[in-house]
Amino acid sequence: MKLTFLGTGTSTGVPLLGCRCSVCTSSAPHDKRTRPSLMLEYSGRTVVIDTTPDFRAQALREKIERVDAIVFTHAHADHVLGLDDVRPFFFRQRTPIPIYADTRCMQSLRRIFAYIFEQTYAYGGILKIDPHLIDGPFDLWEQRMIPITVLHGNLPVLGFRFNNTAYVTDFSTIPEETLPLLEGLDVLILDALRHKPHPTHSTVENSLRLVEQLKPARAYFTHIAHELHHEETNAGLPPNVQLAYDGLKIELN
């Protein structure tokens, strides 16, 4: 399985519009971050976790040729607003794109993308999806996906564990009883917005504590705001922990 970080930025993306700070004006490629999403490629299939408002640019950058399934963490704008841009893959593949979301997220998707769910537009050209509700572990082409409920402020959102890897973006708290699901990992990907506390996001310090506690072989941080310089921040992290960056690829056995 190959993982690709399609985006590693917080909800606004980095640079932040209008900002002249040193990260937003940095010329280092790793200081540019599109909205957060992860792509999984295995068995000739392509699965994306979330479709961000940057999905089209991410797909062009990574030369994505197909999307076989979309798995959603939650329905905030930075994670879902690119759904319509998977249309060309539906046209090419000629089969409705399976999407996976929990009940709350599916309800929001149904409201935001009513025209897709209702299929009322009579002139063709509309995306067709095949919605699946997540209510426990599910399989995508022999790969077990284990949903992990975490708290994004008060909102329960999903992370996913698959192939000894876990992707947990957008959380401020991981409930105690959930922590065992994140033990024994090769790769742990965590939200780490910035250093300063935030009501709905984890910080570098909080995520480092989780890494110490959960002891994955490697950890990557994502959903990164403009407060964090890529290189400077990485220089201060332990060797098995790094800020991810757009386009970063990881091969898993």
- Give the interface with Zn ion as residue ranges (CB under 5 A): 11, 16, 19, 21, 24, 78, 170, 226
The whole-angstrom separation of Cα 90 and Cα 13 is 27
- Among residues 68 and 85, whose Cβ is nearest to Zn ion? 85
The whole-angstrom separation of Cα 155 and Cα 134 is 16
Considering the complex, what minimum distance in angstroms separates the CB of residue 215 from Zn ion?
26
- Among residues 78 and 246, whose Cβ is nearest to Zn ion? 78
One-letter amino acid identity for 137? P
Considering the complex, what minimum distance in angstroms separates the CB of residue 158 from Zn ion?
12
Considering the complex, what minimum distance in angstroms separates the CB of residue 73 from Zn ion?
8
Helix (H) or strand (E) holding 204, with range, is helix 204-214
Q: How many helices (H) and strands (E) does the chain have?
A: 7, 14
- Among residues 16 and 151, whose Cβ is nearest to Zn ion? 16
CA-based Rg of the chain, rounded to a whole angstrom? 17
Contacts of residue 88, defined as CB under 8 A and 6 or more positions apart, other chains included, come to none
Which phi and psi (to 5°) does residue 45 adopt?
A: -110, 155
- Among residues 21 and 217, whose Cβ is nearest to Zn ion? 21
Would residue 148 be called left, alpha or beta, if left means φ above 0 and alpha means ψ between -120 and 50 degrees?
beta
Helix (H) or strand (E) holding 35, with range, is none
Considering the complex, what minimum distance in angstroms separates the CB of residue 118 from Zn ion?
27
- Among residues 48 and 89, whose Cβ is nearest to Zn ion? 48
Considering the complex, what minimum distance in angstroms separates the CB of residue 35 from Zn ion?
7
- Among residues 30 and 226, whose Cβ is nearest to Zn ion? 226
Considering the complex, what minimum distance in angstroms separates the CB of residue 128 from Zn ion?
26
Considering the complex, what minimum distance in angstroms separates the CB of residue 157 from Zn ion?
9
- Among residues 24 and 57, whose Cβ is nearest to Zn ion? 24
- Estimate the share of the chain in helix, then strand, then coil, as percent rounded to the nearest 5: 25, 30, 45
Query: Contact 37/199 with Cβ under 8 angstroms?
Result: no
Paired with 150 in beta bridges are 157
